[in-house]
Amino acid sequence: MGGEDGVGVVGDDQETWGARAVCRTADPDELFAEGRAQNRAKALCTGCPVRTECLAHALDHRIEHGVWGGMTERQRRALLRRRPTVASWRRLLETARAEYSRQSTGYRELSEGFSQAG
């Protein structure tokens, strides 16, 4: 399965996806901020090509601090409580991303077909 930017991701190798993360050059103090300052860190995640891999890594490894994949530690804890039976967040999030991509492609093909028919 490829990352959001189409580059392949194998397993949960943080070195593979971490090298493409938008935040890789950010000040760590920004990513491990508290309170309202976390919103700046979350903004870095917007549009990051490896946001899904990052979030899955944090959830699968139960990382307690910092913003990962656009979610604060509080948001991740709440998600883990709501979905306690998830064995692999990486697999779940990649499957959801693939399904979304498939549906989006189908919708585009359908609307292109209508526009060509008219």
pLDDT of 103 reads: 81
| pLDDT higher than threshold 90 for residue 60 | yes
Q: Half-sphere exposure of 2 toward its Cβ, with a 13 Å CA cutoff?
A: 6
| pLDDT higher than threshold 80 for residue 76 | yes
pLDDT of 110 reads: 54
Tell me what percent of the residues of the chain surpass a pLDDT of 90. Answer: 50
* Rounded mean pLDDT, 10-16: 63
pLDDT of 36 reads: 87
* Rounded mean pLDDT, 85-89: 94
Q: What's the mean pLDDT when you consider all of the chain?
A: 82
pTM above 0.85, yes or no: no
pLDDT of 3 reads: 40
CA dihedral 97, 99, 102, 106 (to 10 degrees): -130
Close Cβ partners of 53 (under 8 Å, ≥ 6 residues apart): 3, 9, 12, 17, 69, 90
User: 22-25: long-range contacts at Cβ-Cβ below 8 A with a sequence spacing of 24 or more?
Assistant: 22/47, 22/48, 22/49, 23/48
| pLDDT higher than threshold 90 for residue 118 | no
